């Protein structure tokens, strides 16, 4: 459940994902489906953790992630640079290079990298940059315009890990960005704030104006807990605002989550309630995400 006010001051260890992932039971995952949000995590000392993190994750290997994709019927995956590794993208770049046809990546980088390093990131499969003001170890919005300019130059998009409340003052700037932007976990929005919350209404307006959103992180936004039924009206409004710019993500391995661990199949089943129409749901799982991340349609 989402409760930033009770976040511990230290960096406690969090559990790993469910060991036996399975696909949904309520529908068939379409060919070419994309999991648009997951993390691979290495362990120190080979892959150091940042000092200012708010949690300490277990190792999450590329092999385990690919096995999860296979078990759940997902064709493609998008790896997002995890906050605990800061701007050291190596743990993510290595599997990208090894699985170029199946994986894409979202990097966290400082400004001012040499052109050769930027070209190497693009060649490895990086398609976007992440700005993150939650959980520590990320890059904030102070240099939003500079990152947007860099993303435009590289043919990338921007991805935001942000509380929906912080979208309200940022909305005028976001609406004029020269590149697409995606909001993670629909703004880390605890549903106790209600459908009329200014942050949620701002997110919906940004989507109608051209923004993208990840229909993900139900367990972060819920108040009632599993099976997350209290998230349904919110997700439906987001999909209604931008049916061709909604994508789905597992958020595997579910870091910074200390409640009972869900199975990815349960989260996929929830999508049947969020987007009841089968064709629209297939677009969320496959067509929309293929377009944003540059994946080819899969053969049926």
Helix, strand, or coil here: 41? Answer: strand
Q: CA 157, 162, 167, 173 torsion: positive or negative?
A: negative
Nearest to 187 by CA among 214, 208, 150: 214
Phi/psi at 38 (nearest 5 deg)?
-155, 165
Name residues whose C-beta falls within 8 Å of residue 27's C-beta, 6 or more positions apart in sequence. 272, 278, 281
Phi/psi at 134 (nearest 5 deg)?
-120, 150
Radius of gyration of the chain (CA): 18
Please report how many Cα atoms fall inside a 13 Å half-sphere around the Cα of residue 53, on the Cβ side.
19
Phi/psi at 157 (nearest 5 deg)?
-115, 175
| E-assigned strand segments in the chain | 34-38, 76-80, 103-107, 126-132, 157-161, 181-183, 212-215, 246-248
- Residue identified by tokens 């190596």 is 90
- Catalytic site includes residue 35: no
Q: Provide the β-strand partners of residue 210.
A: none
Contact between residue 77 and residue 106 where contact means Cβ atoms under 8 Å apart: no
User: CA-CA distance, 202 to 214, in Å (whole number)?
Assistant: 15
Q: Pick the catalytic residue: 251, 273, 277, 282? A: 251
Helix, strand, or coil here: 34? Answer: strand
Catalytic positions: 251
């Amino acid at each position: 459940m989402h409760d930033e006010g009770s976040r511990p001051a230290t960096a406690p260890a969090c559990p790993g994902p469910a060991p036996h992932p399975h696909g949904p039971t309520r529908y068939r995952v379409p060919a070419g489906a994309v999991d648009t949000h997951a993390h691979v995590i290495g362990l120190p000392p080979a892959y150091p953790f940042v000092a200012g993190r708010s949690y300490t994750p277990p190792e999450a290997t590329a092999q385990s992630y690919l096995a999860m994709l296979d078990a759940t019927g997902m064709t493609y995956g998008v790896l997002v640079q995890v906050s605990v590794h800061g701007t050291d993208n190596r743990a993510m770049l290595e599997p990208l290079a090894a699985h170029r046809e199946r994986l894409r990546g979202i990097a966290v980088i400082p400004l001012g990298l040499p052109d050769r390093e930027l070209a190497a990131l693009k060649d490895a499969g990086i398609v976007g940059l992440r700005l993150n003001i939650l959980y520590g170890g990320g890059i904030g919005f102070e240099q939003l315009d500079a990152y947007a300019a860099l993303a435009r130059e590289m043919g990338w998009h921007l991805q935001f890990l942000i509380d929906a409340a912080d979208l309200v003052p940022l909305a005028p700037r976001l609406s004029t960005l020269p590149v697409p932007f995606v909001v993670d976990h629909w703004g880390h929005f605890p549903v106790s704030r209600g459908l009329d919350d200014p942050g949620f209404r701002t997110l919906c307006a940004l989507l109608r104006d051209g923004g993208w959103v990840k229909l993900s992180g139900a367990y972060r936004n819920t108040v009632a807990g599993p099976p997350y039924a209290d998230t349904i009206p919110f997700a439906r409004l987001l999909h209604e605002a931008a049916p061709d710019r909604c994508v789905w993500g597992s958020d595997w391995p579910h870091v910074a989550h200390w409640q009972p661990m869900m199975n990815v199949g349960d989260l996929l089943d929830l999508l049947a309630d969020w987007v009841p129409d089968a064709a629209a749901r297939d677009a969320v799982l496959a067509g929309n995400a293929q377009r944003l991340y540059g994946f080819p349609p899969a053969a049926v």
